[in-house]
């Protein structure tokens, strides 16, 4: 039986921790280092950090800051944002990042994925794809960095990524980002049944029961979330939380 993975996703913007709603309206949450320390204490499975402005604004990666994150983090740490060169991947791995997350570059230069896998192996490379429903309810690839993707069918693109060597695929629902209305289980089924490599689902999580449902009723490998792990209560007070070891073990039982 697969082991359930539950992954917080921290969004980095101008060196601070932010949370978005449908990829817009970034709200300042606090200091990323403090968040990492709390997740350490809560014995988090692994952690994902995404710089949401790096590709959109063509910004350089803040390697010094990422190295601080890696040195503080006791769990496996994945990073994505602004990665367009093999040398950047080399440096990120050297300073302690375990997995590299590619997103925008997949739409502009898919051959970069093949090159990254060739140099560092598929287990190191996670392909992150943002998805949005069109007016007819069909899932299409969405580009947060502004690259045009006119009606690019999601499942076809995911299969292409898998065939190009990605070791894992992360699917982010734009429509559910920050909404806390529950995962898109239909999307989870469609993606996980279409691919043979591990898949991470992100967007919409609102409860531990929601995590249990998506992991137990689909072939999704990991449930990721942002708002659920940093907000508490109806007024969304900032309070970092994470399921207990006992809760996660119950998913696996």
Active site residues: 130
Contact 32, 17 (CB under 8 A): yes
Provide the token pair at 40: 């350490």
C-alpha distances out from residue 66 to 72, 91, 182, 229, 253, Å: 10, 10, 31, 21, 35
Return d(Cα 43, Cα 22) in angstroms, integer. Answer: 29
Return d(Cα 252, Cα 110) in angstroms, integer. Answer: 35
3-state class of 87 per DSSP?
A: helix
Return d(Cα 109, Cα 132) in angstroms, integer. Answer: 21
């Amino acid at each position: 039986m697969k082991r359930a993975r539950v992954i917080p996703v921290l969004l980095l913007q101008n060196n601070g921790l932010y949370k978005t709603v449908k990829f817009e309206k970034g709200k300042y949450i606090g200091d990323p280092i403090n968040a990492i320390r709390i997740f350490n204490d809560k014995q988090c499975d692994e952690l994902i950090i995404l710089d949401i402005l790096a590709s959109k604004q063509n910004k350089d990666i803040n390697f010094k800051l990422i190295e601080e994150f890696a040195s503080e983090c006791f769990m496996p740490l994945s990073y994505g944002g602004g990665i367009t060169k093999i040398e950047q991947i080399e440096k990120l791995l050297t300073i302690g990042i375990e997995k590299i997350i590619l997103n925008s570059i997949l739409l502009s230069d898919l051959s970069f994925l093949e090159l990254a896998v060739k140099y560092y192996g598929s287990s190191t490379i996670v392909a992150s794809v943002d998805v949005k429903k069109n007016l007819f309810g069909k899932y299409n690839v969405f580009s947060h960095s502004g690259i045009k993707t006119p009606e690019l069918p999601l499942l076809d693109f995911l299969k292409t990524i898998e065939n190009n060597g990605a070791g894992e695929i992360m699917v982010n629902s734009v429509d559910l980002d920050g909404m806390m209305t529950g995962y898109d289980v239909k999307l989870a089924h469609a993606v996980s049944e279409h691919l043979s490599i591990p898949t991470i689902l992100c967007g919409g999580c609102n409860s531990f029961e929601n995590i249990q449902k998506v992991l137990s009723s689909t072939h999704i490998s990991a449930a990721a979330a942002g708002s659920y792990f940093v907000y508490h209560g109806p007024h969304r007070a900032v309070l970092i939380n994470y399921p207990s070891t006992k809760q996660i073990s119950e998913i696996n039982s």
